[in-house]
Structure 1
Amino acid sequence: MPVFQSRTNPSSPEFRANREAMLEQVEQMRSLQQRAVDASHRRADRFAERGQLTPRQRVSRLLDPGAPFLELRTHAGYLVDTDDPDRSIPGASQITGIGMVARTRCMVVANDSGINAGALTRAGGAKVLRAQEIALENRLPLVMLVESAGANLLEYRVEQWAEGGRFFANMARLSAAGVPVITVLHGSSTAGGAYMPGMSDVVIGVKGRGQAFLAGPPLLKAATGEVAEADDLGGIGMHATVSGLIEHVAEDDADGLRIAREVVGAMRFGTARTAEADNRDWDPPVLDPDEIAGVVPADYRTAYDVREVIARIVDGSRILDVKPRYGPATVCVEAAVFGRPVGIVANNGPIDNDGAQKATQFVQRCGQLGTPLVFLQNITGYMVGTDSERGGMIKNGSKMIQAVTTVDVPRFTFFIGASFGAGNYGMCGQGYDPRFSFTWPNARSGVMGAEQAATTMRIVAEQRAEKKGEPLDEAMLDAFAGQIVSQYAAQESALVTSGLGLDDGLIDPRDTRRVLGIVLATAQEGEATDVRPLSFGVARP
């Protein structure tokens, strides 16, 4: 494959302006991520008094030293429970991510009990459910570090309770599929949360701190009038000797994590395939990935060649451009990332008829070869207009969407700019269940741009008034258009969409190659892993 010849000048004023704008958004993203870390750390003294590790220290002790940890949905819940950007804490009081435990790639879920005692919010529940789905699809052992106050009864919603059953259904599916579930009880696991250890394959309880009961002492007294001490009711000692819920008793948090690592290591689940899959020859990009911050314009409406981004992500900056002169605004290239072949579909403008047909053929060919697909979304939509409609835009766009939906290879989506309308769909948006999806902080998403929506609604209002013979009130129309712009613009930013859980996390654009490498390895290892499904999950005595 030829090395891409960049036309970017890192010394140009445009590059420096783009870089400054991008890094400003990256800094805002990181500042919000740090807000969650700081909020949890404010309870560090309390954890120390109890002889405990903080939630993030637990995750760190669990993981192999020096191995990468891909934290997911770090902005989940941002601006969901409050519309005050200065008070909203992202992360939804849960820590989820993919990391190496005893040389085995695992999905890790930890309750961040430093924030609201790890209570499960609606956004936190969706975040954990997504982690379970990723674990099942990629055959990743699931390790849960549990210490949670459970659902917040003051914010009770019946639909949240009903959806909560999916937690336990997913755990049953994981175990039945042959994917191990290991739980460390660092603290309390109450009511519905008690089914977390109950439906795990291996449970490790921390002596003196871990607890599990269907009804804690307050609920027990309210329901039956019985008065019981927490440890007698559901302490680790009782579960280890009487109920049989606990397999291993740990002296403290650190010991519990040591045992968890030993349990994962003893399974030898994926160890051989991990070593084999990562033992590949590859060249780093010739073009510096750090330059991505200056390559991409701050305004998605400013055109640039997306190949400049691709060449800073792929091995050796080598790309094989497929049909570059046919449907040129839709870019399809073959390349490799950390030695793994990929097909990349990206945008240099709206998708026209030729571009849709080209992408359809390319996607289907990748499916034929078993090549994973990467979608880099910077798309305002499919081309509209008389010529486009007469050329078959509806059927050609539909064929592309069908191919993207049904192709049987792992698909990974990165929102790197605009993501509007049906363009989001054709480029494997959230509704098409990509294996993983990540967002750059400059990205904007929605049914259409705010100004376009306002103009459309203004035209509709003008036509309605004309049909009724009513006079046009320009001031009212201006106010109406302004209201539409505000409504749409308030929902399109990456911080908002990521807060709503419409991706697997915000990332620094310069980390795209590293993140893609991790999820490619995760998907490939999952498909290479032999599991022994059961007709039901492993039941405990």
Structure 2
Amino acid sequence: MTVLDTTLDPRDPAYLEGRSSTLQLLADLEAVLDEARGGGGEKWVTRHHARGKLLPRERIEMLLDQDSPFLELAPAAARGSEYPVGASVVTGVGVVEGIECLVIANDPTVDGGAVNPYTAEKIRRAARIASVNRLPMVNLVESVGGQKPGGGIARELSRLTPDRVPTVCVIFGVTTGDAAYLPALSDYTIMVRGHAKVLTIHPQPVRGTANGHGGVEVRATPVVPAGPTGPADQLAEDERDGLRLARQCVRRLNWHKHGPPPRTQHPAPPRHDAEDLLTLAALKPADFEPREVLARILDDSDFDEFKPGPGATALIAGWGELHGYPVGVLATPGNPCSVAEAQKAVHFLHLANATATPLLFLRHTGTPPAAGAEPPDARHDAPLVHAVARSAVPHLVLSVGAAACDLADRPDEPRFQFSWPTAERTPTDDGVIDPRDTRTVLGLCLSAVHSAAVEGAGHVGVFRP
């Protein structure tokens, strides 16, 4: 067992300055998340509640097991665009009747839950996560179509069927556009009596909508009512009853994980305080030490480094456990790899696949080359890019700095990908997280990926010179 040491001093002024800087970024992020949680604004939220209807996050809370966590994905989607923050939909991973599920919930207070390009991308990403990780999907639907074409949401969701991923759909109100196809695409369909209506054709744009936001007319097109002649498998008396029936459907799936359980049932927490991650997030590239991060997220701060020693490179690799799950860690700096780094990384990827061990890519900026030094040749990255593309074990990506190259997510699509607020985000990110929540978020992700079988590739590339 190799226990990581730590060199951070909470009394150091630089420690306090870095902590303060990250906390300010987190305060800015919280303001953005509050905007997303506010939906269409106080007026439309009040009107929605007055109709006896629940908000999307209230529906999710009632769906999930009591006091269980919900890993929300891309909550700040569409930030800085012409569309509302959050993209009028909530997606994430939560536990229903003891089963990890991918949940999608339209927000009808935002333009009636209308689908825009960000909504479509967010739902497609959620469907992809459900497919590759073998997570049952629960759709909580109330959407009056799109301001612009949705981009084939129905097509993406239909791919879950051949992957044998079960789907449950609860329709709470008027539903049009791509969402209108969900009843036919789902294994179980529940409709709320007196409220659920499915428009079977795309309506024409007019001046008013069901909630007055403008966009599409919902009264002048044929509907399939919630009743014996409609597409419902079950009728709910109200929204709460619909969520109860959805939980009942999940309970009867007879669902079991295909991946192994945690190797350690009661893992020891890290030996160092997660609060220190606030300071680490703000350090300059020359001062950043990936091992300090690992000491605060791995079980018992235990990390067995691969190929350490005097000749060790800037690229760090090694083994540990996180919430009891074995994991391989590859800390990749943003600079192009040297020959030695590429060989080391490819060898490590080969071993991870040979032992079917999930991989965590810790992306950071890295120290720039010294003045006058010959810059690394980007061509040396090619073997590593090839090895990452060939790797079949689950990949998790955490960006902790503004990395210049994205080796971890360029050749393939990671199962989950998150960033700290100090890192440069990529379009494929699943969200920005508080550094102090890193261990919890990665633990939830590792649990989710083990819903599918964890298998490695027989060979990922050449690692010997």
* Residue 137 of structure 1, CA deviation: 0.4
**What residue is the counterpart of 1:415 in the other structure?**
399
How far apart, CA to CA, are the structure 1 residues paired with 2:410 and 2:110? Answer: 29
How far apart, CA to CA, are the structure 2 residues paired with 1:233 and 1:38? Answer: 30
Q: Say which of 298, 315, 334 aligns to 1:330.
A: 315
**What residue is the counterpart of 2:273 in the other structure?**
288
How far apart, CA to CA, are the structure 2 residues paired with 1:39 and 1:515? Answer: 24
Q: Report the structure, 1 or 2, having the larger helix content.
A: 1
Letter of the 2:2 partner, please give it.
Answer: P
TM-score, normalised via structure 2 length: 0.88
- The answer to whether 1:242 aligns with 2:229 is yes
Number of residue pairs the alignment of both structures matches: 442
Tell me if structure 1 keeps the 8 A contact 2:315–2:341: yes
**What residue is the counterpart of 1:50 in the other structure?**
51
Unaligned 5+ segments in structure 2 are 207-217, 456-465
**What residue is the counterpart of 2:351 in the other structure?**
365
* Residue 387 of structure 1, CA deviation: 7.8
Per-residue deviation, residues 417-451 of structure 1 (Å, max 9, x unmatched): 0221xx312xx12552111100111012xxxxxxx
Letter of the 1:320 partner, please give it.
Answer: D
- The answer to whether 1:198 aligns with 2:199 is no
**What residue is the counterpart of 1:490 in the other structure?**
none
Letter of the 1:316 partner, please give it.
Answer: D
- The answer to whether 1:168 aligns with 2:148 is no
- The answer to whether 1:125 aligns with 2:112 is no
How far apart, CA to CA, are the structure 1 residues paired with 2:103 and 2:5? Answer: 41
Unaligned 5+ segments in structure 1 are 83-88, 221-227, 445-493, 530-541
Q: Say which of 93, 96, 99 aligns to 2:91.
A: 96
How far apart, CA to CA, are the structure 1 residues paired with 2:188 and 2:351? Answer: 43
Classify 1:385/1:275 alpha carbon distance in 2 versus 1 (closer, same or farther; 3 Å). closer
**What residue is the counterpart of 2:339 in the other structure?**
353
**Root mean square deviation, CA, Å:** 2.8
Q: Share of identical aligned residues, percent?
A: 32
Classify 1:328/1:433 alpha carbon distance in 2 versus 1 (closer, same or farther; 3 Å). same
* Structure 1 segment 354-433 matched on structure 2, within 5 A: 354-379=340-365, 393-420=377-404, 423-425=405-407, 428-429=408-409, 432-433=412-413
Classify 1:405/1:528 alpha carbon distance in 2 versus 1 (closer, same or farther; 3 Å). closer
Classify 1:316/1:66 alpha carbon distance in 2 versus 1 (closer, same or farther; 3 Å). same
Letter of the 1:434 partner, please give it.
Answer: P
How far apart, CA to CA, are the structure 1 residues paired with 2:380 and 2:33? Answer: 41
SS in 2 for 1:205: strand
Letter of the 1:21 partner, please give it.
Answer: S
SS in 2 for 1:171: helix
How far apart, CA to CA, are the structure 2 residues paired with 1:338 and 1:50? Answer: 43
- The answer to whether 1:259 aligns with 2:245 is yes
Classify 1:216/1:403 alpha carbon distance in 2 versus 1 (closer, same or farther; 3 Å). closer
- The answer to whether 1:34 aligns with 2:18 is no
How far apart, CA to CA, are the structure 2 residues paired with 1:45 and 1:114? Answer: 9
How far apart, CA to CA, are the structure 1 residues paired with 2:276 and 2:224? Answer: 55
Tell me if structure 1 keeps the 8 A contact 2:168–2:246: yes
How far apart, CA to CA, are the structure 2 residues paired with 1:141 and 1:517? Answer: 19
Classify 1:508/1:256 alpha carbon distance in 2 versus 1 (closer, same or farther; 3 Å). same
SS in 1 for 2:79: coil
Tell me if structure 2 keeps the 8 A contact 1:71–1:95: yes
Tell me if structure 2 keeps the 8 A contact 1:346–1:378: yes
- The answer to whether 1:504 aligns with 2:430 is yes
Which structure carries more relative contact order (alpha carbon 8 Å, separation 6+)?
Answer: 1
Larger Rg: 1
SS in 1 for 2:266: coil
SS in 1 for 2:53: coil
How far apart, CA to CA, are the structure 1 residues paired with 2:76 and 2:245? Answer: 31
SS in 1 for 2:223: helix
How far apart, CA to CA, are the structure 2 residues paired with 1:232 and 1:126? Answer: 28
SS in 1 for 2:453: helix
Letter of the 1:242 partner, please give it.
Answer: T
SS in 2 for 1:267: coil
* Residue 277 of structure 1, CA deviation: 4.8
Tell me if structure 2 keeps the 8 A contact 1:171–1:181: no
* Residue 169 of structure 1, CA deviation: 2.3
Per-residue deviation, residues 216-250 of structure 1 (Å, max 9, x unmatched): 77689xxxxxxx9779832112xxx124x110000
* Structure 1 segment 415-454 matched on structure 2, within 5 A: 415-420=399-404, 423-425=405-407, 428-429=408-409, 432-444=412-424
Per-residue deviation, residues 365-421 of structure 1 (Å, max 9, x unmatched): 1111111110111135997999868x8x4553111111111111001111110221x
Q: Say which of 206, 215, 223 aligns to 1:233.
A: 223
Classify 1:64/1:40 alpha carbon distance in 2 versus 1 (closer, same or farther; 3 Å). farther
Letter of the 1:69 partner, please give it.
Answer: F
How far apart, CA to CA, are the structure 2 residues paired with 1:65 and 1:318? Answer: 32
